[in-house]
Amino acid sequence: MSTAGDMDMAARSVLLPVMLCVLVDGAVAYAVLESPFGTLGFFDDTPPEGSVAVPVLAGLILGVVQAVAFGTRTTVVAAAVNMAVAFVTVMYMIPVGMVVVGCVLGAAVARGARRRLPGQWAVSAAVALALTGAASACYGLTRSDPPDLPLLDVISVPDAPAVVIDPQERSKEGAAVLGDLAQIGGCLGIVDRTAGRHEYVVAWPQGTTASSAPYVLSYEGRSYRLEDFVAVRGGAPITMAIDLEAYAPDLPASCRGRDILLAG
């Protein structure tokens, strides 16, 4: 009977530290994801600066503290559990994975520290872990989302078609869309010569300008007037209704619902 009880106590002494480390690692990964440095990796078009260094550094510090509190083996086991859970979710595999990599590195740096340091260090490290996990969870759950940036900007031109500007930088590679500059609704667009005279409202790249009286478009270092032939490089057409709805609020009412060509 006592043997079974001893085994149960031993199991708990291993399981509880692992559970604490798993929860803290997950909370810190979530907090980093919700921070300005957060990224979902390949799900994001433009990851922010520091999106790799910050979670790895946070994990490195966690790994050192966990190794001091519970030992290297517990830290590595907790990291493996977190990585397995993140792998199942797919979406959180990258943010959790970067924190986990940092944890393993930190555990390696602090290997053997628990045996060398006084016992109160381990207690202090465990308390610090619990507080870090609670603070990280609170930050991630209470942080308000930043306001959505407009997908498109619009330059109004008196008595002339408005010029739609795409604030994002896009690739100029790929085939150009060839057509004639035209007024599409109330916006400047193109009538595609190669696709059955299909009409697009063009979202021009940053740096594109337009003047009135006479109406002249300045695009890629050249000037164009209505009905002039133009080659829009790297054009990405937006034609599905559900995608057009996302862009509609940023467009003048007269241009909404029309197919959009995002210029490179």
Mean pLDDT of 106-110: 89
Could you count the other beta carbons within 10 Å of the beta carbon of residue 147? 6
Residues 6+ apart with CB under 8 A from 17: 69, 70, 74, 78, 126
The 10s digit of each residue's pLDDT in 51-107 is: 889 999 999 999 999 999 999 999 999 999 988 988 888 778 888 889 999 999 999
pLDDT band at 13; cut points 50, 70, 90: low
Give me the pLDDT at residue 140, please. 85
E strand or H helix at 190: strand 187-192
- What are the domain boundaries of the chain? 2-142, 153-262
Exposure on the CB side of residue 35, measured as CA atoms within 13 A: 19
The 10s digit of each residue's pLDDT in 111-159 is: 888 788 888 888 888 889 889 989 988 988 888 766 666 788 898 988 8
Give me the pLDDT at residue 170, please. 77
Mean pLDDT of 45-55: 82
CA terminus-to-terminus distance, the chain: 74
Give me the pLDDT at residue 219, please. 92
Give me the pLDDT at residue 145, please. 67
E strand or H helix at 232: strand 229-232
Q: Does residue 7 surpass a pLDDT of 60?
A: no
C-alpha–C-alpha distance, residues 173 and 163, integer Å: 23
Exposure on the CB side of residue 239, measured as CA atoms within 13 A: 6
Give me the pLDDT at residue 42, please. 63
The 10s digit of each residue's pLDDT in 190-239 is: 999 887 789 999 999 999 999 888 899 999 999 999 999 999 887 788 88
Q: What percent of the chain has pLDDT over 70?
A: 91
Give the CA distances from residue 18 to residues 12, 36, 64, 91, in Å, rounded to whole numbers and listed in that order. 10, 29, 15, 24
C-alpha–C-alpha distance, residues 205 and 172, integer Å: 10
Q: What is the DSSP letter of 77?
A: H
**What value does the mean pLDDT of the chain take?**
85
Q: Does residue 8 surpass a pLDDT of 70?
A: no
Contact in structure between 157 and 217 (CB atoms under 8 Å): no
CB contact burial 219-243 (16+ within 10 A = b; e otherwise)? bbeeebeeeeebebbbbbebeeeee
